[in-house]
Amino acid sequence: MSNLDDKLSKLGPIQLDALREVASIGAGNAATSLSEMLNNKIDMKVPKVSILPVDQVPEMMGGVENLITAVLVRIKGDINGGVLFTLDTSSANTLLSLLIGEKVNIEDSIGEIEDSALKEIANILTGSNLNAFSQMLDIQIKPEVPSLAYDMAGAILEVAFIELGQIGDYSLVIETEVSGSIAEEIKGHFFLIPDPDSLDVILTKLGVLVD
């Protein structure tokens, strides 16, 4: 068993609860920003946080052939890798319709307005989560310019591998639920995919140490 695998084997409920708590702080900050954008109350919660092998990520998106909207953001700093924020088609349409103020169907097309709105949503959610993790772990994380795709989950993950170059074998998965007085339930996933050295940094900062 490798050093990293050994650390992952020691990752228990306490550490995962700590990750969920900090993700909840990030979600709360994101909800505040989205509420201001929509001029309506929006709530966000994080029901679950987990670390899983990257090859299982498409299943979290509904399967390799499921069509999803995804925004990819490369991150650099004390940890390196990428962030992938995904929404299923229904959730993306609902959220965009709320933001734009008219009915949207991204299955027909994603125009400049939809592209800009989705990237802005991703910037808010990504920034809020990364800021929370940066403060919790006392590390610097710098996001770069996001890129948008609407495709099958398997194809999107393949592109993410190409865009990010060397990528880790594991992903930190933050499940996000959005609700509010004007919103149907919107479900999304926030994937932090660090390179192997960066995941080692995160686990060490969480106190998951090798005996």
Strands in 54-144 per DSSP E: 67-77, 81-88, 141-143
Q: In the prediction, which pLDDT does 168 show?
A: 64
Say whether pLDDT at 187 is over 50. Answer: yes
pLDDT, residue 114, reads: 84
DSSP tag of 56: G
Question: Could you tell me the CA-to-CA distances from 65 to 23, 59, 60, 78, 202 in Å, in that order?
Answer: 28, 10, 12, 34, 31
Q: Which two tokens stand for residue 146?
A: 């996001």
The domain spans of the chain are 3-205
Residue 181 pLDDT class (50, 70, 90 cuts): low
**In 10 A of CB 42, how many CB atoms?**
22
Which of 36-40, 173-177, 189-193 is predicted with the least confidence, judged by mean pLDDT?
36-40
- According to the model, what pLDDT value does residue 2 have? 55
User: Is the pLDDT at 3 greater than 80, yes or no?
Assistant: no
Query: In whole numbers, what is the pLDDT of the chain averaged over residues?
Result: 80
Q: What is the pLDDT of residue 77?
A: 92
Please say if the pLDDT value at position 9 is more than 70.
no
Segment 126-148 mean pLDDT: 87
Residue 1 has pLDDT above 60, yes or no: no
Identify the weakest region by mean pLDDT among 59-68, 91-100, 103-112, 159-168. Answer: 159-168
Render pLDDT for 102-125 as a digit per residue (tens, 0 to 9): 888 888 878 888 888 888 888 888
pLDDT at 133: 84
Q: How much is the average pLDDT of 192-206?
A: 80
Q: Is the pLDDT of residue 82 over 60?
A: yes
Q: Is 147 left (phi over 0), alpha (psi -120 to 50) or beta?
A: beta
Candidates 132, 137, 140; CA nearest to 46 is 132
Third-level CATH fold of 3-205? Chemotaxis protein chec (3.40.1550)
By CB atoms closer than 10 A (0-12, 13-18, 19+), residue 101 is exposed
Reported as a pLDDT band with limits 50, 70 and 90, residue 208 is low
Which is more confident, 194 or 6? 194
